[in-house]
Chain A
């Protein structure tokens, strides 16, 4: 047994954990530019994380083990998800044991515990955030699974590695089902990662915050882990989108040059996705929370139409 698979997994997880803060920094930088402000630099999230890790943890008196356990769980599930998706290479040992449904379930576990932790302390904001987060989740998750099933119909497998290889081997095709699935996926990704039409990641305004309300009581290294996991979640959704729709460049063979190329392609794609995110965020205003059902309903509709058009048109 060679060391190659372990090396690959390590590289993948590293690519996730190290690139995520940089990607978050890139999005922040672009946003500053688009608003005519001076940028704090690409490394701001990294500096933030370092600062938070150095600080003490302040725990509420009635915090139970759930509250203390959640940051590690959230961070762990994000890392594990990074081991499943083909970020740099298709040839992953973990990819064979877990498919894209597991990927969705990992996020569901993290969300479940975050909601519990939000309610654990007993502050009003935690409960409100938990309720909103679960409302969004209950609408976003079926749509997400539907979009993923649409993609997996095309390659006859729910394994992401399989999907990537099958898209890479076929030629570039105009597929209606894919167009619908991409639209649905973008809407869901905006909702799941808490970007602007759904949630504003840069504000602590009491009335509108969703994710921030949940983690309001965290501090020190706990907050650092959760923030880091949040950044990783943003990149994970980008990686999932890349793997499912634009997998060209992900290494299929076992050599260093292909991996280098894959990394280059990944950075280029992330740069473009960052521009896309900023365009969406500067172009749209945050939605009223009661409009979210329609927003996510549209996502579900598109995913369903994608699945139907696979049967009707392809």
Chain B
């Protein structure tokens, strides 16, 4: 595989990752959201493998397999079990309406492009152009955490944000050292478990996963 083609595939996958990020913003159903998250993980995994092959960094294969196992199979499975146990299949409530969120999303893409433009000038790597997309994915994950009311969707937003960081790491520096990546993967997994336990407690206390309910915790008024 020559470098030119690899760069093209890389940027194509970057576009698809961006598309899944936007699709997650637009998605109203919990199940669909988890599926989209799994798709994004699959794209990341393929991208990591390709970058590893082109740059001949063989530890990237390990992180690619790790991504595949963790973000495509395990985390979506845990989330599925969670929403089944908590019985929350219904439509997601949003704070800002969907078209408005989309417009903000486009604004974030433009912003991250503007922000990474000087870095792209300096870098000589084939994958440098995807940095803007990675940053945009991070920001869109953040936007999702802000605009959703439901605790589970906020967690999916958080995981999508982590996907963006991972994508930035592979495209900007050909991946982090393996130790760091293993640590992050473990952290995300543990975080998912802890969130799961949290959800059960929140649900038991408030009989809802709407985080607005937590305003009742305030003293006074």
List chain A positions with a Cβ less than 8 A from chain B. Answer: 173-177, 179-180, 293-294, 297-298, 301-302, 304-305, 308-309, 311-314
List chain B positions with a Cβ less than 8 A from chain A. Answer: 8-9, 11-12, 14-16, 18-19, 22, 26, 98-99, 102, 105-106, 109-110, 113, 129-130, 132-133
Inter-chain contact total with CB atoms closer than 8 Å:
59
In the bound complex, residues from chain B placing their C-beta under 8 Å from that of A298 are 26, 102
Most buried by B among A177, A293, A294, A305: A305
Residue of B nearest to A179 (CB): B15
| Contact A309–B15 (Cβ < 8 Å) | yes
Do A174 and B9 form a contact, CB below 8 Å, given A294-B99, A309-B15, A313-B130? yes
Indicate which residue in B15, B19, B99, B106 contacts A313 across the interface (CB closer than 8 Å).
B15
Residue of B nearest to A306 (CB): B15
Do A301 and B106 form a contact, CB below 8 Å, given A312-B129, A312-B133? yes
Q: Is the interface of A mostly helix, strand, loop or mixed?
A: helix
| Contact B98–A313 (Cβ < 8 Å) | no
| Contact B113–A308 (Cβ < 8 Å) | yes
Pairs across A and B, CB under 8 Å, 22 listed: A174-B8, A174-B9, A175-B12, A176-B12, A176-B15, A177-B15, A179-B12, A180-B15, A294-B98, A294-B99, A297-B98, A297-B99, A297-B102, A301-B22, A301-B102, A301-B105, A302-B19, A304-B106, A308-B110, A312-B129, A313-B130, A313-B133
B156 to chain A, nearest CB (A): 20
Residue of A nearest to B12 (CB): A174
Do A309 and B9 form a contact, CB below 8 Å, given A297-B102, A301-B102, A304-B106? no
| 3 tightest Cβ-Cβ pairs between the two chains A and B | A176-B15, A313-B11, A297-B99
B100 to chain A, nearest CB (A): 10
B109 to chain A, nearest CB (A): 5
